């Protein structure tokens, strides 16, 4: 009976889940006040936008069940243990957040910023479980899945490039498409796909109105086992019904 109840709760939770892990934190850019970027908005450094962003790492632990909360640690380690340079990580982060928080502006590389996020996440997890040790990262490296994600990237490559390099506000994410491809091939196909989704949604890049392309977006989400709305929510779907 207990297992059935837990399964029911999990299903109900999935109805409201629109992102997970590192890309969930990136999605919080919409709730960050843009005025927080002004130096006099918060007179104390610990009250500034950097602290606000790091707070989301702790919120992720309270927001999700244990498996989804653990996804944040997995995502961070998938990137940190990869061969990706810090600038590539910075680029995909900028795109996922509309350039609202640039690690460079705070004297950090992309890798340093990820470590700060991980520190905040671990500190919150260990409040409940002092002996907690994260599992080693388990990146998705299946070549067929990698190529499937690369192909979907190519369907929106040009409009995504233009949108990310010429945003109406925020720091531009120059070189986004090759950066996403590197995440997919050098780090993790799953995380690379979620970073693509986050960038496409952030810049409201239209999905080609051929039906087939939208179907490929959704099918990939199903193959990765995402909750229902992770792909669908916020996607600028231009299908012809």
Q: What is the DSSP letter of 206?
A: P
Is residue 240, in this structure, part of any structural domain at all?
A: no
138-154 pLDDT, tens digit each:
999 999 999 999 999 99
Of 5-14, 98-107, 165-174, 228-237, the poorest mean pLDDT is in 5-14
Do 148 and 201 reside in the same domain of the chain?
yes
Do 118 and 183 reside in the same domain of the chain?
no
Do 203 and 93 reside in the same domain of the chain?
no
Is residue 21, in this structure, part of any structural domain at all?
A: yes
Do 148 and 96 reside in the same domain of the chain?
no
Does pLDDT of 9 surpass 50?
Answer: no
Among 128, 157, 179, which residue terminates a domain? Answer: 128
Do 114 and 148 reside in the same domain of the chain?
no
Alpha-carbon dihedral angle through residues 90, 190, 219, 25, given to the nearest 10 degrees: -50
Per-residue pLDDT at 166? 97
Do 87 and 170 reside in the same domain of the chain?
no
Give dist(CA 24, CA 99) in Å, integer. 15
Of 169, 230, 195, the C-alpha closest to 22 is: 195
11-35 pLDDT, tens digit each:
445 668 899 999 999 999 987 755 4
Using alpha carbons only, give the angle 128, 129, 133 rounded to the nearest 5 degrees.
140
Tokens of 17: 């889940």
The total of structural domains in the chain comes to 2
Does pLDDT of 60 surpass 60?
Answer: yes
Using alpha carbons only, give the angle 158, 159, 162 rounded to the nearest 5 degrees.
90
Among 79, 104, 128, which residue terminates a domain? Answer: 128
Q: What is the pTM of this model?
A: 0.88
Q: What is the DSSP letter of 107?
A: T
Radius of gyration of the chain (CA): 18
Alpha-carbon dihedral angle through residues 69, 76, 144, 66, given to the nearest 10 degrees: -10
Give dist(CA 175, CA 181) in Å, integer. 10
Q: Residue 13 in contact with residue 65, Cβ under 8 Å?
A: yes
Among 75, 96, 128, which residue terminates a domain? Answer: 128
Q: How confident is the model at residue 220 (pLDDT cuts 50, 70, 90)?
A: very high
Give dist(CA 114, CA 51) in Å, integer. 14
């Amino acid at each position: 009976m207990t297992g059935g109840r837990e399964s029911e709760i999990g299903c109900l939770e999935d109805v409201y889940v629109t992102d997970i892990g590192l890309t969930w934190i990136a999605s919080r850019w919409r709730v960050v006040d843009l005025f927080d970027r002004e130096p006099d908005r918060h007179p104390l450094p610990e009250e500034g936008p950097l602290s606000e962003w790091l707070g989301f790492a702790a919120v992720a632990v309270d927001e999700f069940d244990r498996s989804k909360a653990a996804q944040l640690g997995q995502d961070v380690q998938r990137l940190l243990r990869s061969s990706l340079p810090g600038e590539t990580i910075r680029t995909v982060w900028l795109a996922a957040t509309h350039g609202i928080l640039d690690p460079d502006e705070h004297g950090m590389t992309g890798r340093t910023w990820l470590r700060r996020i991980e520190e905040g996440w671990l500190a919150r997890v260990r409040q409940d479980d002092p002996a907690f040790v994260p599992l080693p990262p388990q990146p998705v490296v299946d070549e067929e899945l990698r190529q499937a994600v690369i192909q979907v990237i190519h369907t929106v490559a040009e409009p995504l490039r233009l949108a990310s390099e010429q945003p109406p506000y925020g720091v531009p994410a120059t070189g986004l498409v090759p950066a996403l491809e590197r995440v997919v091939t050098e780090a993790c196909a799953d995380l690379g796909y979620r970073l693509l989704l986050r960038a496409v949604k952030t810049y409201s890049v239209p999905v080609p109105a051929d039906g087939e392309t939208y179907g490929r977006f959704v099918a990939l989400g199903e193959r990765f086992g995402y909750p229902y709305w992770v792909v669908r929510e916020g996607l600028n779907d231009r299908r012809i019904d």
